[in-house]
Amino acid sequence: MAERDALNVSPRPMLLARDDPALTYYVRRDLLEELVGPVEALWEAKEPARLVRKQQPDGSWRYHGTSYDPETGQNYDLLEIYRNLRVLVDMHGFQRDHPVVPRAADYVFSCQTPEGDIRGIIGNQTMPYYHGAILELLIKAGYAEDARVDAGLRWLLAVRQDDGGWVVPAQTVPPIEKTKAFWRGAAISADKSLPHAHLATGMALRALAAHPAYRRWPEAIGGGAALKRRFFRPDKYNDRKASSYWLKFQFPFWWTNLLTALDTLSWLGCDAGDEDVARGLDWFQSNQAEDGLWETGYGAGKRSEENRHWVALAACRVLKRFGVAVS
């Protein structure tokens, strides 16, 4: 692996100074490589306990609005599962031996079609981006060997574009044609000769990169190559198209950005000496704030400072995997 300079400012003091037991746990475990005990110690914290209480008997969480639109088939309770599993799995280390996870997983798999894809958030249209991001969380939570996950990953591989990435087929349809009937109608397929959408590619790849076997498959490596060639460029489709979205960071991860992409590429085995990867690492090494953290691009919202600290943890994990000294 190519050698990289250390960070100019260690983020460790700022990260450890924040009163957040989960954040401190991961800084000590992942950055300082200390023995910190089982992750189950985080499961009883206030935020995960609140989410556990709010889970519905069917395994979902209720969306704050209209959960299901019968005219479009859009199921936003499935979106809430994604939103909340991100917090439980990525911030508090939940695994399938906590009952909240199997209940959520069973709901997710109730939305899986015979073809293997998970549908509902955008009606009956296929959604490789949310499909991949949801599977990533389930794989992290202990479902890597589940046959339903395997079916979902094989579906992802089957719907790749010719250039190695993914699109959301609905992205390729003119807005005027996206009527309520469209969302509920038969699922369309995209012309595979069309260029991939890096929004979709980055989210779909996270599932493959999280899986200890699929991350080694040539198709996953090829998807990573397609993704990194897009760094700092506008997307090909209208959703989050501007190049500025590469530098809008949040944790737990949601949309594709430079940090999520580098995280994925680190698991796919990319080297810090790769030209595209190096440009991404250079950005993080050149854009630290004086306190050692990074600006997230999301301003000063309610949870902006919390997000900023967790983004810094995620960035340090990625940089460390690529050989950058971070602490």
Helix (H) or strand (E) holding 228: helix 218-228
What predicted TM-score, i.e. pTM, was given to this entire model?
0.96
CB 100 within 8 A of CB 55: yes
The answer to whether the beta carbons of residues 293 and 249 sit under 8 Å apart is no
Q: What percent of the chain has pLDDT over 70?
A: 99
The confidence score (pLDDT) of residue 2 equals 61
pLDDT at 327: 77
Query: Band of the pLDDT at 68, cuts 50, 70, 90?
Result: confident
H helix or E strand, kind and range, residue 185: none
What pLDDT band is residue 303 in, cutting at 50, 70 and 90?
A: confident
What mean pLDDT do residues 156-172 have? 98
User: For residue 77, what are its two tokens?
Assistant: 């309770």
Buried/exposed 135-159: b ≥16 CB within 10 Å, e otherwise: bbbbbbbbbbebebbbbbbebbeeb
3-state secondary structure of 126: coil
Q: Is 183 exposed, middle or buried (0-12, 13-18, 19+ CB in 10 A)?
A: middle
Instruction: In whole angstroms, give the CA distance from residue 141 to residue 137.
Output: 6
- Asked if the model's pLDDT at residue 301 lies above 80, the reply is no
Q: Residue 40 has what pLDDT?
A: 96
- What are the strands, taking DSSP E only, across the chain? 68-69, 74-75
300 pLDDT more than 80: no
Looking at the DSSP bridge assignments, the partners of residue 120 are 123
Write out pLDDT tens, residues 215-270: 999 999 999 999 999 999 999 999 999 999 999 999 999 999 999 999 999 999 99
- Residue 288 has a pLDDT of 96
pLDDT at residue 1, rounded to an integer: 55
297 vs 56: CA distance, rounded Å: 34
The closest of 14, 51, 1, 3 to 316, measured between CA atoms, is 14
The residue among 56, 95, 106, 100 whose CA lies nearest residue 77 is 56
pLDDT (average), residues 142-152:
98
Burial class (CB in 10 A: 0-12, 13-18, 19+), 204: buried
Q: Rounded to whole angstroms, how far apart are CA atoms 238 and 167?
A: 12
Q: Tens of pLDDT along 269-299?
A: 999 999 999 999 999 999 999 999 999 999 7
For residue 249, give every residue at least 6 positions away whose Cβ sits within 8 Å of its Cβ, in sequence order, or none. Answer: 257, 258, 259, 294, 296, 297, 298, 307, 311, 314, 315
Query: Given the structure tokens 């038969």, which residue do they identify?
Result: 186
Give the domains, in start order, of the chain with CATH numbers: 12-321 (1.50.10)
How confident is the model at residue 67, as a pLDDT? 84
**Alpha-carbon distances, residue 219 vs 140, 161, 210, 216 (angstroms):** 20, 11, 14, 8
Spatial contact of 73 and 183, defined as CB atoms under 8 Å apart? yes
Query: How far is C-alpha 149 from the chain's CA centre?
Result: 16
Across 59-80, average pLDDT: 92
What kind and span of H or E run contains 296? none
Higher pLDDT, 39 or 1: 39
Complete DSSP assignment for 104-121: HHHHHHHTB-TTS-B-BT
What pLDDT was estimated at residue 5?
Answer: 87
Mean pLDDT of the chain: 96
